[in-house]
Amino acid sequence: MSENQELSRLENEWKTHFDRFTAPEPTREMTLDLIQKIKNIEQEQSPIDLRLELETTQNSLSTRSKIVNMFLSQWNFYGTTSWLLTGLLMIVITFTISENSADAMTGFLSWIKWITLLVIGVIGYSFRPKNEGNEIIESLSYYPVIQQIFTRFMIVMGFQLVLTLPLSLFVVGKEGTILYLVSSFIPVFFFGVIGFVAIFWLGQKIGLSITLLIWFSQVLLKKKLLFQAPGDDNFLTVNMIILGISILLLSSVVLKRRFSVNLK
C-alpha cells in the first residue's frame, strides 16, 4: 500500500469519529425572554453621574487642598515651560539693561517699559481664545469659571511681581529705595489689569490692541503718567490714582458676571 493510500484511509477513518452538531434555532419566546432580561439589567444599573462623583470628592477635601488644586489647575493652563521661558526673558532684559544703561534713572525707565510689554504678552497668552476641548474642561470643572479666571490672573500677576520687584534692584543698584519698588509695582499691575479686563470684556484681539495702544502712547508721548521715577512731580499721587483706577477696572469683571447671571 502506497503512502497516499495510507493517508486516505486514515483520513476516512477519522471522519467517521466526528458527528455533525447543529445548534437548535431559538424560538420566538426565547428571544423575547432574552430581550426582557437585558432590559431588566439596564434598569437595575443606574448611570454613573461623573459630575456628582467629582463634587463628592471635592467636598471631602479640606479648604487648603481645594485652594491648592485650583492653583495647580490654572498653573498648568499656562504651562511650566512657558513660565520658565518668561522668567528667563525677564532676567535677560534686566541684566542687559543694567549693564548698558548710563545711569540708574535712565536704565530703570527703559527696563520698566520692556517689563510691562512682557506682562502684556503674558496676559494675552494666558487668556488666549480657548479651543473646544479647553472650553469643555473649564465648564465641567468643579470650580466656577469666574474663580478659574481670577485665579489665573492672580498667578500671572503674582509671578510677574515676584520677579519684577527684586529684579528692579539690579537695575537701580545702590539707589534702590521703596519708592523704586512702587515705580515697578504700579505699572506692572496696571498693564496686567488693563490687559485682563480688556480681553475679558472685548475679546483677545480688541483687548490686546487697546492695551498695546495705551502702552505705545506712554512710550511715545513726552508726558508719561505710567512710567515715572521717584524724582518726578506728584509721584505718589499719580501712582495712587493709577492703583485706584486699576482696582476699579478689576472689579468690573465681577459686575459683568452678575449682569450675565441676571440676563439668564
Q: CA 230, CA 177: separation in Å to the nearest integer?
A: 9
What pLDDT score was predicted for residue 151?
82
Per-residue pLDDT tens over the stretch 100-151: 877 778 888 889 899 999 999 888 887 776 655 555 555 556 667 677 778 8
Span of 88-92, 176-180, 228-232 with lowest mean pLDDT = 176-180
The separation between the first and the last C-alpha atoms of the chain, rounded to the nearest angstrom, is 95
Instruction: Give the residue extent of every domain in the chain.
Output: 62-263
Q: Which residue, among 167, 205, 189, has the nearest Cα to 244 in the 3D structure?
A: 189
Strands (E), 3-111: none
Query: Among all chains, which residue has been given the C-alpha cell 527696563?
Result: 111
Q: By the 8 A CB rule, do 228 and 180 touch?
A: no
Per-residue pLDDT tens over the stretch 30-65: 777 777 777 776 666 555 555 566 566 666 667 777
Q: Is the pTM of this model over 0.85?
A: no
